Amino acid sequence: MMRSMPPNVPRPRTALFVTCLNDTLFPGTGRAAVALLRRLGVEVDFPPGQSCCGQMHFNTGYRKRTAELARHFVDTFGDYEEIVVPSASCAGMPAEAYPLAAAGDPGLARAVAELAPRVVELTEYLTDRLGVEEVGAYFPHRVTYHPTCHSLRATRLGDRPYRLLRAVRGIDFVELPAQEECCGFGGTFSVKNPAVSGAMNGDKARHVLETGASVLAAVDNSCLMNIGGRLDRDGHPVRTVHLVEILARTEQDGPLPGVPVVEEAR
Amino acid sequence: MTRSFLGWPAFPAAAEREVGNRQLRENVRRATHTIRGKRAVLAAERPDWDALRDSAAAIKDQVLADLETQLLRAEEKVTAAGGTVHWARDAAEANRIVTELVRATGETEIVKVKSMLTEEIGLDAALEAAGINARETDLAATIVQLGDDLPSHVVVPALHRNRSEIRDIFVREMGRHGRPAPDGLTDDPAELAEAARLHLREKFLGAKVAVSGANFLVAETGTLVVVESEGNGRMCLTLADTLISVVGIEKTVPSWQDLEVFLQLLARNATGERMAPYTSTWTGTTDGDGPRTFHLVLVDNGRTRALADPTGRQALRCIRCGACMNTCPVYERTGGHAYGSVYPGPIGAILNPLLKGLDDPQTASLPYASTLCGACNEVCPVRIRFTDVLLDLRAQVADGGQHPVERAALGAVGGVMAHQAAWKAAVKTATTAGPLLPRRIKLPGALGGWTDSRTLPAIPKESFRGWWKRTQGDTK
């Protein structure tokens, strides 16, 4: 059952940090996040000044640039009580990377330490802050799930995404073999070491095909872009869909167009 | 001529070559998955596994913070027990010391116990140049040596070879270095082991001088410890008249009580065994038992350099169990040679730059030989945070100005992103021009690697912020 918030309780001021990748390449994920959160009674705001968390810069070694973006992040989101992020890897940046990038700038370090606990990855927000697993979603397709490395070992989402997925009506959920293995994206790794990245990605795509799923879900569009790019190039019609886009769909929306519908759900 | 990693190409080029070798990839995949599975079972068997890891990390950090005291204590104890201690600043000094010690015995064929440090310093080549033939006695090290090959793993140096390749090496090479392989040798593992046993037995029995490394040096008694699976180490350590042990200064543990922690972790994490079949310990010399002369060569070779790096010094906790490489998805595709060092995998990606510095392009490429997936962090018995060290080393490379083009590109992007109006304009440009781009193209320059094996995502007509501005988030 969907849990509605009691009336007359002042809502926390909730901001959506959509992430630069979602803003430009996967706006559907941002739209789905807004729709889902509103359905669950959360009035979410989009501060337009937001840009990028600086992960690419930080992971490539550019700490001064990261510090600039950390400062910008603090300026943009500092007033919000909670900042929800539809990406496990970007959601981890304020807690993991900003303290290192802010070394030598005590003011920024303090601001970051104060802000970081309020930045939450979206599935964790649903299960832990809203306390929901059944979010009223309907998705009558065979779905498999890739736990991205950051969601597994940095943000440590554990079984939260699985609990949310299993509660979706009509879904045929299948476990992905060797799921805990990296897809080979690694940000600039995929550009600096394309051969190794491609080999890892090829194995990941093969495992996805082994499940017979029509849809591959994850909580990071960067990894989905990597795996989806491989599946598409090899001519496989498996769709890559951010988990929040699955959770946002209801019976009203019906099945995802162009994707095989699971028999029992008809 | 002994092969070495000298002049090896940087990781991306070396890795691309290795990834293309299907046989190698299959060999490495099979081997790493086998050890990975065994390790997981035996680590899970211990309810106190994480507490052991905490203790091991704490003990090593304590030693590293007080290394001089610990080493001087060990020197005093080894000397009192009849051994001689030598100090080597670098590889050249260590090789010179060992060469002179062997020369003084008059021997020209000696035996070795597998030691990654002697591989690191290129001892075999130095001895060869002095007319001394040093024969490996560990099975995997023997395969590597006979095949004029290079080690690809710290525990299993011939991990990249399958048994039919090993059979071919034995048949071709054993006769040139001693007892030939038996006629009609097949690739049956038991037959291969027996062939190695017969070939090596002659070496053990004939050798007057042995060179070893050590897994640990217990400072309180000056005791050396070698942990091994085959018994070749025990033979060399006890049968030779003269024993020379070449040991990195970071191998020190304060006491036997501390040693206990590492002996519980090492075999489980390295080979998936509860205890290693052979654990040999010795202290100086003992009358009428074992070597009559014992030399300990303590080697720095960059370790104090690593120690000076506040984030990187945790790499010196490493006990060379190899679990990080067994679990690494990058190592699984490339094998060890791609790293251009006897220390491959995640530990190689951090240890080599810490030992040697980042001036050389090959070494500077290693911190980028990782997707930062973090699988290594989770299996490390001494809790090295590989991803923290990798990121710190990347920052050192970036600050060193080695990637001017990338720095300019990321700098420009960062500048735009931190500037609200510029970023909005950039998003608008992308979503206006983007939908017109074909998805199956070859991107130019450094980005071409992406499109070699993937299509590009379709660029949407409207950005999220465009949609928000138009609708204020109204999804109805």
DSSP string, B79-125: HHTT-EEEEESSHHHHHHHHHHHHHHHT-SEEEE---HHHHHTTHHH
Establish how many alpha carbons lie within 13 A of residue B430's alpha carbon, considering only the half-sphere containing its beta carbon.
22
B471 vs chain A: nearest CA distance in angstroms? 11
Please report, for residues B334, B399, B417, the alpha-carbon distance to residue A68 in angstroms, rounded to integers and kept in the order given: 36, 16, 9
Roughly how many angstroms between the first and final C-alpha of chain A, as a whole number? Answer: 21
Give the number of beta-carbon pairs within 8 Å between A and B: 213
Give me the CATH number covering residue A220: 3.40.50
Please report, for residues A135, B365, B366, B474, the alpha-carbon distance to residue A38 in angstroms, rounded to integers and kept in the order given: 11, 47, 46, 9
Which residue of B373, B395, B455 is in closest CB contact with A229? Answer: B455
Query: Two tokens at B231?
Result: 């018994």
A258 lies in the same domain as A142: yes
Yes or no, beta carbons of B371 and A182 under 8 Å apart:
yes
Q: Which of B431, B437, B475, B469 is nearest to A29 (CA)?
A: B475
| SS3 category, A75 | helix
* Cα–Cα distance for residue pair A92/A250, rounded to 1 Å: 29
Summary mean pLDDT of chain A? 94
Alpha helices in chain A, H assignment, sequence order: 20-24, 27-39, 55-60, 63-77, 88-91, 93-96, 98-101, 106-115, 122-124, 149, 160-166, 189-192, 194-211, 221-233, 243-248
Q: Which of B387, B426, B415 is nearest to A66 (CA)?
A: B415
The C-alpha angle A99, A101, A106, rounded to 5 degrees, equals 60
Residue A219 lies in a domain: yes
* Cα–Cα distance for residue pair B12/B82, rounded to 1 Å: 49
- The residue-averaged pLDDT of B201-208 equals 93
Which residue of B394, B414, B450 is in closest CB contact with A69? Answer: B414
Query: Two tokens at B459?
Result: 């660029």
Are A241 and A218 within 8 A, CB to CB? no
Residue A59 lies in a domain: yes
pLDDT classification of B3: cutoffs 50, 70, 90: confident
> Which positions in chain A touch B414 (Cβ < 8 Å)?
52, 54, 57, 62, 65-66, 68-69
- Chain B residue with CA closest to A199: the answer is B333
Q: Does CATH place domain B11-303 in 3.40.50.10420?
A: yes
- Chain B residue with CA closest to A150: the answer is B373
**Farthest CA pair distance, chain A:** 60
A69 lies in the same domain as A161: no
Point out the least confidently predicted range of A118-127, A182-191, B408-417. B408-417
Residue A27 lies in a domain: yes
pLDDT classification of B410: cutoffs 50, 70, 90: low
Q: Does residue B440 have a pLDDT over 80?
A: no
pLDDT classification of A1: cutoffs 50, 70, 90: very low
Residue B208: per-residue pLDDT = 97
Residue A7: per-residue pLDDT = 54
Yes or no, beta carbons of B454 and A63 under 8 Å apart:
no
Q: In this complex, is the C-beta atom of A194 within 8 Å of any C-beta atom belonging to chain B?
A: yes
B161 vs chain A: nearest CA distance in angstroms? 20
Domain edges within chain B: 11-303, 413-471
- The residue-averaged pLDDT of B12-25 equals 95
pLDDT in tens, B236-250: 999 999 999 999 999
A26 lies in the same domain as A118: yes
Residue B442: per-residue pLDDT = 75
B275 vs chain A: nearest CA distance in angstroms? 28
Query: Two tokens at B4?
Result: 């070495």
> Which positions in chain B touch A58 (Cβ < 8 Å)?
391
- Chain B residue with CA closest to A232: the answer is B455
A199 vs chain B: nearest CA distance in angstroms? 7
| SS3 category, B318 | coil
* Cα–Cα distance for residue pair A87/A20, rounded to 1 Å: 11
> Which positions in chain A touch B450 (Cβ < 8 Å)?
190-191, 194, 229
A211 lies in the same domain as A143: yes
A121 lies in the same domain as A152: no
CA B361 to chain centre: 19
- Chain B residue with CA closest to A253: the answer is B476
Residue A2 lies in a domain: no
> Which positions in chain B touch A72 (Cβ < 8 Å)?
417-418
Query: Among the three residues A127, A148, A180, which one is the final residue of a domain in this structure?
Result: A127
Residue B472: per-residue pLDDT = 86
A203 lies in the same domain as A261: yes
Query: Two tokens at B124?
Result: 């075999």
Instruction: Name the one residue in this structure whose structure tokens are 């992430």.
Output: A19
Query: Among the three residues A127, A153, A177, which one is the final residue of a domain in this structure?
Result: A127
Query: Among the three residues A127, A151, A175, which one is the final residue of a domain in this structure?
Result: A127
Residue A9: per-residue pLDDT = 55
Interface of A with B in 82-101 (CB under 8 A): 97, 100
Q: Does residue A3 have a pLDDT over 60?
A: no
Are A65 and A196 within 8 A, CB to CB? no
Residue A223 lies in a domain: yes
* Cα–Cα distance for residue pair B364/A61, rounded to 1 Å: 12
Yes or no, beta carbons of B375 and A30 under 8 Å apart:
no
Q: How many domains does chain A have?
A: 2
Residue B447: per-residue pLDDT = 73
Q: In this complex, is the C-beta atom of A204 within 8 Å of any C-beta atom belonging to chain B?
A: no
A23 lies in the same domain as A119: yes
Q: In this complex, is the C-beta atom of A52 within 8 Å of any C-beta atom belonging to chain B?
A: yes
Residue A9 lies in a domain: no
> Which positions in chain B touch A38 (Cβ < 8 Å)?
473, 475
A95 lies in the same domain as A153: no
Which residue of B16, B329, B475 is in closest CB contact with A182? Answer: B329
> Which positions in chain B touch A188 (Cβ < 8 Å)?
368, 406
> Which positions in chain A touch B375 (Cβ < 8 Å)?
149, 153, 180-182
Q: In this complex, is the C-beta atom of B129 within 8 Å of any C-beta atom belonging to chain A?
A: no
Q: In what order do the strands lie in the sheet with A119-121?
A: A44-45, A14-16, A82-85, A119-121
Q: What number of residues does chain A have?
A: 266
CA B338 to chain centre: 12
Query: A246: which DSSP letter?
Result: H
Interface of A with B in 164-183 (CB under 8 A): 180-182
A157 lies in the same domain as A67: no
pLDDT in tens, B31-51: 999 999 999 999 999 999 999
Interface of B with A in 355-394 (CB under 8 A): 367-375, 377-378, 391-394
- The residue-averaged pLDDT of B424-445 equals 70
* Cα–Cα distance for residue pair B318/B382, rounded to 1 Å: 7
Q: Does residue B89 have a pLDDT over 50?
A: yes
- The residue-averaged pLDDT of A151-170 equals 96
Residue A157 lies in a domain: yes
- Chain B residue with CA closest to A66: the answer is B414
A189 vs chain B: nearest CA distance in angstroms? 6
- The residue-averaged pLDDT of B406-429 equals 69
Domain assignment of residue A260, given as a range: 133-265
A261 lies in the same domain as A146: yes
Yes or no, beta carbons of B454 and A201 under 8 Å apart:
yes
pTM of the predicted protein model:
0.94
Residue A137 lies in a domain: yes
Does the ipTM exceed 0.85?
yes
A131 vs chain B: nearest CA distance in angstroms? 24
Yes or no, beta carbons of B394 and A200 under 8 Å apart:
no
Dihedral angle sign, alpha carbons of residues B389, B392, B393, B394: positive
